[in-house]
Structure 1
């Protein structure tokens, strides 16, 4: 990679950057509505848009989903209990799925571990996120794991980035952050003063992404092949 020679830290996002579920969220949500016996009244995008709002006040991922799904269902004109039933069904269906590494994840992380100090900055409950790391065989690769929303304020706040850099004994000028979300990863990195690499989760890439990342790549595998 062709970053300045004083780069000593690389931090990654987790969900849809290094790993993903074997089935996409939209399909799981549709099945959850069906299992709960509730007519689907909102889509997965509504959940993704709102879930950060519940990170600080939830005890675990099921509690977060029950709060969020309940509010979304009430806003759609239905009872809160119906939304909570959908959350319970979603949890059961997610538990049956596999967590899979994205192509190139292990190779890139292994390569970078020999060149940089590595950190992980992820929005999500610590137990769930560490379970994902174990499932993809990367649980021992990161010197620090910051679960934003629990250890600190959620991304895109600067706090999780600041904490990771403090633990890695580095500064924003010497660090790079890699993630898939403009609104969470790239915005947070910019707020904290880190350079950023955006790897979109889908092929639908705007010509002028906002906020603008330092670099945009098509896949994790491109990280291992300079220049970028």
Structure 2
């Protein structure tokens, strides 16, 4: 077993930014704006600016409800596009429906698995390590992502904040994951790209915290201290 996972029988992964490269999501929003703008004779940049303003207002209000499953995801997305268009003077429900449909299609295509992810998951499974997922988000959205990139079958347990009513960085979501996996904190690790939500929160529940630092960030003294820092998933297998 590689040093990073020595003595570990269960590895939990974060999803967004850890297994999934979501750097293409802004392009999906822009692509939707381009389609809408062409039909409504609007400027793409104006639509983008309106969309940014709308989400800046909406997200702080719905963040926690989104994460624990207390918000209608579809209705929220529709309302966001309705407000985006209204901000540019368009109050046409056909345009709203077009925006929602186009954005959903482009967003699905934008989800990409990091190149080393599948090989790492396969290798861990072959070595008898149990693989779990602990992710924040709306279940319908997160499960759709997993199905789209064909990762869903890898994880047992598959823990999504909106399905359990507890979200990272609350230790309770990790405690729930441990029970579902039938293991103990000292035998489990959490791998994620977020120092606070993934690493520090998991450590507070007694798990080993592994930070995926793809950007080579220089840590500050006051930041959490991961048990292990790796520049990519493949380094989890390095001996």
By the TM > 0.5 criterion, same fold?
yes
2:157 pairs with 144, 160, 167, which one?
144
1:207 pairs with 211, 219, 222, which one?
219
> Please, which runs of 5 or more residues in structure 2 have no aligned partner?
none
In the alignment, the residues of structure 1 paired with residue 226 and residue 175 of structure 2 have an alpha-carbon distance, to the nearest angstrom, of 18
Q: What is the number of residues matched between the two proteins?
A: 216
Question: For residue 53 of structure 1, what is the aligned residue in structure 2?
Answer: 64
SS of aligned partner of 1:10: strand
- Structure 1 or 2: more helix by fraction: 2
The answer on 1:177 being equivalent to 2:190 is yes
Q: TM-score, normalised by structure 2?
A: 0.72
Question: For residue 92 of structure 1, what is the aligned residue in structure 2?
Answer: 102
Question: For residue 25 of structure 2, what is the aligned residue in structure 1?
Answer: 25
The alpha-carbon distance between structure 1 residues 171 and 20, as it changes in their structure 2 partners (threshold 3 A), is same
State the superposition RMSD in angstroms.
3.6
**1:186: Cα distance to partner?**
1.9
Correspondence list, 1:26-175, <5 A: 26-32=26-32, 35=36, 38=47, 40=49, 42=52, 50=60, 52-55=63-66, 56=68, 57-60=70-73, 62-65=74-77, 89=99, 92-96=102-106, 97-98=108-109, 99-113=111-125, 114-175=127-188
Once the two structures are superposed, what CA deviation does each residue of 1:35-92 show, in whole Å capped at 9, x if it has no partner? Answer: 3754615479959x847423232133x345567x59x98xxxx69x99xx98983663
SS of aligned partner of 1:162: helix
Query: Which piece of structure 1 moves more, 102-111 or 33-42?
Result: 33-42
The alpha-carbon distance between structure 1 residues 172 and 66, as it changes in their structure 2 partners (threshold 3 A), is farther
**1:166: Cα distance to partner?**
0.1
